[in-house]
Amino acid sequence: MLRRNPPHFSYQSRTSCISLLRFISAALLALTASLHADAQFANGTGIAQVPNLGTHAVGQRSNDEGLGIALQSDGKIVVAGRCIGSNPNYRFCVARFNADGTPDASFDGGIASPPISGKVVVPNLTAAIGVSVRAAKVAIDASGRIVIASTCYTASVSERFCVARLLANGAPDLSFDGPDTANPGNGAFVVPISAGFSERLFDLTLQRIDGRIVLVGACSDYTCIARLRASDGTYDDDSNDFGFLKPPANARATIDPVANGRGIWRQPSYFNSDGRGSARSVVTTAEGKVLVVGSCGFTGGVSQICMTKFNRDGSFDDDFRGDSLPIGSGGRLVINTLNAGGFVVTEEAVAVRMQADGRFLLQCGYFRNSSVSQCIYRINSGGTIATSWNSELPAPSEPGRVVYNAVGNPLDFAITPPGTQPGDPYANRVIALGDCSGVGGNPGSTRICVTALRNGTGSPPNADGKIDTDLIGPNGNGNGTFFQSTETAASETGNVVRGVVATTDGYFLIVGECDDRMCVYRYRPDGALDTSPCAKDLDGDTFVSAASDGAKLIRAILGVPGAPAIPAGLGYDIDGNGTLSAQIDGLLFTRAMLGFRGDSLIGNVSLGSSARRKATADIESYLKTRCGLLN
């Protein structure tokens, strides 16, 4: 049954439009042409991709992954990850985009004719060591050099920290030799901490006060840290120059090395008095102090959030003692969270960021029964929990902790930098990224989930920790949180995402993998992919109708001579599969103009496996919010 006529259509015009629509639908059975647009911000698609170097085996595609992201001061976007070219081992892979998403041709590694514009592959680390990069973090120093770090497989010990530095043009920084003077790294090298134990890197940061390089992770079953000089990458062990000294003897793990510049320490917890743990994230303050967050415990698979704060010289910060430790005994804290039954809750730390006022936000996973919820704490500089961070959501949220998403695994978060205009509505806003694969009736699919939290923004301006419902997402139906499928038909391994950064104008960018390529998604402040407009008045004659605009969109997609030009990008990509199709997008657009809803809207439309919008509600919401239809 057709719905009642929309008020702006007469019966005669509607009948004519339906006849025209039927004619076009029949013609589309024979005409299956479609337009493909390059996936770059400049083309208005919202997704920038880096081409692969090629295949590494007969019949097998190269698999590249974007794992870390950083923004330069000039707006350029640096993506680090791992890639396979003709070498069967993963390599450090770095790409740089211009602010509009086009490849930065100046990022050529010093090669006159690079294989891929804007992309470089870092040479193997240290002679005779095979490298397989598992993850990657990236940072930009004050000179514009690019520092990347990861976990690498080596010939002697299975896993080690490894780090590399590139010049602004992508060439290896040959002055960055590393701690092994007998085997200089020439821009890339392994950073051993213990004598012979597996070591996994989780995070990298540059010290705010002087640019020294801080690496944290897990050494065997303990938290560990290494700090390198910014000049040449050697261990920062000079006690006369604020070098990183050892934690107190009673806090060191048995596998802690004797030398300075790195350390392995114990973090006692409710679940494990021996102090086993893993450092997950690190941030530094303007005074040179270092805050490391991670998880500790692991007995029976349970854990707690643990935090360690070092002074600039590597000693424990005794003032970091929360509200429970006596004066002079601070530096290490554990968050003890009890459920309604009085039992200690399992929580895991994921990422930490510092606010402009010196307080810290800590992203975490909160375990309830067999599921994980996503949460964020606010921590004062002295280690107490800031109860002003209050979402007013029901338990397990409470003052100081916001459980903002009941499902999914937390991945990363960003704090939007303050802009230059007073009253900036997005200043300090929190954008939290998670993996919600298989959630919401989409078993097996890769779905990201993004939540916005107010943080001194919004109305009232002190609404810290409250869900920011201005984030409505790509379909326009979000309410502070949106979910988006990243699967496409061409994907072999799933389009996973890893990290997020935000810009001063409220836009945010997510790094990940798209069809086995490194890629960046760019979103507007309301969560819409930064695509071209989907204007219902396609031809700009101020009159909107299926007979004119709907038919002209279909003709334009089919490339019919004389049809109006479609704005660059994929704003008219109604199903979100990255392709403009007359028999899908054009048909849905035209039917919406005729007032079709529900089954009448999507009936007999072949939404393939590559469609990111398949549910009727998602398609209707996109047509309404992004195209101005179905109002």
Is residue 418 packed enough to be buried (19+ CB in 10 Å), middle (13-18) or exposed (0-12)?
middle
| Span 285-309, average pLDDT | 91
Percent of the chain with pLDDT over 90: 55
Cα gap 152→160, rounded to integer Å = 5
Q: How many CB atoms lie within 10 A of CB 442?
A: 16
Cα gap 516→83, rounded to integer Å = 9
Cα gap 580→568, rounded to integer Å = 11
Cα gap 576→486, rounded to integer Å = 10
Tell me what pLDDT residue 36 has.
Answer: 31
| Span 1-12, average pLDDT | 36
| Span 556-562, average pLDDT | 90
Of 424 and 366, more confident: 366
* Lowest mean per-residue pLDDT among 33-47, 61-75, 115-129, 356-370: 33-47
CA atoms 20, 23, 25, 31: torsion sign:
negative
Cα–Cα nearest to 570, from 1, 7, 46: 46
Give the β-pairing of 579-581 and 34-36: antiparallel
How confident is the model over 110-146, as pLDDT tens digits?
A: 887 888 889 988 876 653 344 566 678 999 999 999 9
Tell me what pLDDT residue 444 has.
Answer: 52
How confident is the model over 424-479, as pLDDT tens digits?
A: 889 999 999 999 886 655 545 678 999 999 998 555 556 689 999 999 999 999 99
Tell me what pLDDT residue 31 has.
Answer: 34
| In the predicted structure, residue 81 carries a pLDDT above the cut 50 | yes
* Cβ within 8 Å of residue 282, ≥6 positions away: 203, 204, 205, 214, 216, 225, 290, 291, 292, 293, 352
How confident is the model over 494-505, as pLDDT tens digits?
A: 578 899 999 999
- Tell me: cis bond preceding 533? Omega within 30 of 0 counts: no
Tokens standing for 587? 């048909």
Tokens standing for 343? 């039992």
Tell me what pLDDT residue 410 has.
Answer: 96
- What is the DSSP secondary structure assignment for residue 586, as one 8-state letter? I
| Span 167-186, average pLDDT | 90
Confidence of residue 54 (pLDDT cuts 50, 70, 90): low
Mean pLDDT, the chain, whole residue set = 84
Dump the DSSP string for 228-266. Answer: E-TTT--B---GGGT---PPPGGGB-TT--SSSSEEEE-
Percent of the chain with pLDDT over 70: 85
| In the predicted structure, residue 523 carries a pLDDT above the cut 90 | yes
Cα gap 177→208, rounded to integer Å = 22
Q: Which residues of 134-168 are buried (b: 16+ CB within 10 A; e: fewer)?
A: ebbbbbbeeeebbbbbbbbbbeeeebbbbbbbbbb
Kindly calculate the radius of gyration of the chain based on its CA atoms and give it in whole angstroms.
26
Dump the DSSP string for 30-45. Answer: T---EEE---SGGGTB
The answer to whether 477 touches 621, Cβ cutoff 8 Å, is yes
Confidence of residue 370 (pLDDT cuts 50, 70, 90): confident
Tell me what pLDDT residue 153 has.
Answer: 79
| Span 337-355, average pLDDT | 90
Helix (H, G, I), strand (E, B) or coil at 590: helix
Residue type at position 432:
A
Cα gap 317→305, rounded to integer Å = 18
* Lowest mean per-residue pLDDT among 105-109, 158-162, 256-260, 484-488: 484-488
* Lowest mean per-residue pLDDT among 28-37, 328-337, 525-534, 556-565: 28-37
Tell me what pLDDT residue 12 has.
Answer: 44
How confident is the model over 575-629, as pLDDT tens digits?
A: 988 889 999 999 999 999 999 999 999 999 988 877 888 889 999 999 998 899 9
Beta bridge partners of residue 265, listed in sequence order: 223, 252
Tell me what pLDDT residue 42 has.
Answer: 53
Tokens standing for 402? 């916001």
Confidence of residue 246 (pLDDT cuts 50, 70, 90): confident
| In the predicted structure, residue 214 carries a pLDDT above the cut 50 | yes
The answer to whether 514 touches 39, Cβ cutoff 8 Å, is yes
| Span 187-209, average pLDDT | 92
Beta bridge partners of residue 303, listed in sequence order: 297
The answer to whether 289 touches 312, Cβ cutoff 8 Å, is yes
